[in-house]
Chains A and B, each alone.
Chain A
Amino acid sequence: MILSWRTGGLLLGLVFLAAVALVKPIGVSTQFVILDGIVWNSVEKSAVVKSEKNKSGYASPNAYLNKSGGAYAKNVAQPANYGLLFVLAMIGGAGLSAILRGGVSRPERTMPAIWRANYGDSPWKRYAIAFASGFVVLYGARLASGCTSGHMMSGMMQTAVSGFIFAAGAFAAGIPVALLMFPKDAR
């Protein structure tokens, strides 16, 4: 059983507070780039190299990894840092929670009930849309320099103007798409 919005909202708020009180605001989507960089660097050694010129001490031929003094390049070269460990721990925490509540039912593991009500049982149709959505979501999150965690929650809690702009864009697009794509409720 999921938590009521009151208990859940309070706990989620305390986690965001703990993060900013003890370290820094929560963010997730950067780690998709770091993981891409790690994969690239493992097949091509020139992806990230040591550099005297960059502030971080690392450089990359890729302009994105090389930006801000090679900050991402450094995280690729030294992945045992806060950002990546945070995301790995998040994955572990969610997995632990799921085990303790008895896991997710078999039909739900392929698609949520509301998808089934609108598009039927085919897992491949669901996976195709999930893959395309993941692509668009992470492209968008990197274009925005943050996602639901970093911009919407961490951003708005700090009264960041960018957080409000991001939330406006996300809901302005997300609500019409959801209304159009899911006319039927889950049965």
Chain B
Amino acid sequence: MTTIILAIVIGAAFGFVLDRVGATNPGYIISMLRLGNLHLMKTILLAIGVSSILMFAGLLTGLISPAHLSVKTAYVGVFIGGALLGIGFAAAGYCPGTSLSAAATGRKDALVFSIGGLFGAGAYMLTYSHVKAIGLLDSVLGGKATLGKIAGTKYPALFDFSGEWVGIAMGIVFIAIAFALPASLRNAAQTGKNTGKQPGDAPTAAIHG
């Protein structure tokens, strides 16, 4: 029962925040990937940094149970799958979570994307045996590995350091990059224009932190 309440509360908070940071607007995602408006890049880097530092601090102090961690296996298909996702992410401006969320905000192209996604996931179900047979799913770099050794977990470490402190250091680096990145890597005249559209709609609206 508790799990069900947590699923609803955390899920709703996630969807709400995804919408409020602009992630349900494919314009922001496309603008991030064409390096025109790095608002979402800065947001995501800060989010990973904050969650990482607090999570590893929670592990060090015992406030968070290491049993809650879930590290996925590394294999060649992770890179290929990431690249496939990147292509559609750029072409449409949606990923699995943001397309479902954006469809709920009334975006019809997001609904079409999600239906395409159901077919894509179905296609993977049908081809899984072949993908596995050709070795794309074979572990590399230790499989379910983390950068450093995290106490209380069985995950192998890539480097012989304390995983908790590596995580905190990585979090600080991510936050530093979030602050250091400019608002845009393209010509300011192209991206800083006032589009006259309603705020939040225009992917190029200037973002002031």
Contacts and interface: CB of A to CB of B under 8 A. Distances in A.
Given A1-B199, A134-B117, A142 B124 contact: yes
Nearest to B21: A8
A158 B20 contact: no
Nearest to B191: A185
Which DSSP category, helix, strand, loop or mixed, fits chain B's interface?
Answer: helix
Interface residues of A, number: 124
Contacts of A13: 46-51, 54
Contacts of A49: none
Interface in A69-96: 80, 82-83, 85-96
Contacts, number: 544
Nearest to A83: B7
Contact of B142 (A86, A161, A182): A161
A45 interface: no
Contact of A9 (B85, B106, B178): B178
Nearest to A144: B81
A113 B203 contact: yes
Interface of A: 1-6, 8-26, 28-29, 32-33, 35-37, 39, 62-65, 67, 80, 82-83, 85-98, 101, 103-105, 108-115, 123, 126-127, 129-163, 165-175, 177-179, 181-182, 185-187
Interface of B: 3-4, 6-22, 24-28, 30-31, 33-36, 39-40, 42-52, 54-55, 58, 63-64, 68-75, 77-110, 112-126, 128-129, 131-132, 136, 141-142, 144-148, 150, 158, 163, 166-167, 170-171, 174, 178, 186, 190-191, 193, 195, 197-204, 207-209
